Amino acid sequence: MKNIDYKRIFNKGIPTNIINLLTEIYEYKGRQNIYINNKNLEIQKLKKQALIDSAVYSNKIENINISKKRIKDILLENDELQNENEEDIKGYFELLNSLYNQETFELLNTNLILDLHYQLFQNSNTKMSGRFKLNDNFILETTLEGTQEIKFIPVKAFFISEYINNLCNKYNEEYKSKKINSLLLTTAFVLDFICISPFNHGNSRMSRILLNWLLSVGDIKVVQYISLEKIIFENLEKYQNVQQKSSYKWHDNLNNYYYFIEFILKIVLQAYKEFESRFTSLENKKIDVADNILKLIAQYQKVSKNELINLLPESSKRTIERKLNVLLKAKKILKINQGKNTKYTIKQH
């Protein structure tokens, strides 16, 4: 029987490459609140898009696809669901959103895992949602020749409750003790969950729900703004390979967790880099709009708002109006006339 013991895994010494990745991640993490606490519209858009991407790409990994129009219809417009694919994507979206909005973290337990699975498939008609598998199963892969081979043999159905209960208890014990780095603990927990595969359906998606949620609980908030699932999808072959390598001899307590851990740390780091890059570009864009307005007013001496809108087609009307107000308050420009005849000019100092 597999002995889940996170102290044994991590007390042996952590490889240098893993330490280096953790160090770099925590450098980015130290800056995340600078961006997140800036409650502007762009950051909220980024958060909404990441949630959509997570739901769409987690299901794409399972070859579940819908059109871009239907993505908008069911996730943003609450349109009626038309098929199982839409039910699966909507369920993922709603569950992840509810977990991100939780104010407190419940310690893990068997009933919670069952409830998460039930919520994940609450829109479907599957009879096994929120219930552990009743029959043994295999994780298969399709070869280049088109035949299927057994990739991994998960825990037998008879032992699932015992394994999940033990897994949750081990996680809770280390989470409360805070002696093991939360990133390492979360990724090891997720790999063990994958190897147990407690459900007939949806184990892979459940593992990614748990990954996002537990990382967010551990203050790796970037998962709420950049979709890890999208990055995983872009590196799908590698994702599948590291799962296989890290699960080798799992039942014998001889598996190497670090193949999987390294992959997850790398995608978290990539997410942080993308997050900072996007936020920096948003800030630069704001600066550029204000600068461009000043340059145009200086060039034309007197310019109306509509003229600025035509001269700056890449900027929205709302952005230009907002920047004009900022420049007026900063006393860098003056407003001439009122109503339709309003124009702006540079304030002479």
Instruction: Give pLDDT tens digits for 47-64.
Output: 999 999 999 999 999 999
pTM above 0.75, yes or no: yes
Residue 187: enclosing H or E segment and its boundaries?
helix 182-196
Pair of tokens at residue 165: 């209960």
Backbone angles phi, psi at 164, to 5 degrees: -65, -40
**Angstrom distance (rounded) from CA 185 to CA 174:** 8
Q: Using alpha carbons only, what angle is made at residue 124 by residues 54 and 71, rounded to the nearest 5 degrees?
A: 40
287-344 in CATH: which number? 1.10.10.10
What's the pLDDT band for 109 if we cut at 50, 70, 90? very high
Residue with tokens 């299901």: 59
Q: CA torsion sign, 291 to 295 to 298 to 304?
A: negative
Average pLDDT over residues 310-318: 82
What's the pLDDT band for 127 if we cut at 50, 70, 90? confident
Asked if 95 contacts 59 with a C-beta cutoff of 8 angstroms, the reply is no
- CATH 1.10.10.10 residue ranges for the chain: 287-344
Q: Is the pLDDT of residue 175 over 90?
A: yes
- CATH 1.10.3290.10 residue ranges for the chain: 4-282
Per-residue confidence (pLDDT) for residue 284, from 0 to 100: 64
**Is the pLDDT higher at 148 or at 275?**
275
Q: CA torsion sign, 180 to 186 to 188 to 189?
A: positive
Reported as a single tens digit per residue, the pLDDT across 5-26 is 999 999 989 999 999 999 999 9
CATH 1.10.3290.10, domain 4-282, yes or no = yes
Per-residue confidence (pLDDT) for residue 18, from 0 to 100: 98
Asked if 184 contacts 151 with a C-beta cutoff of 8 angstroms, the reply is no
**Is the pLDDT higher at 37 or at 157?**
157
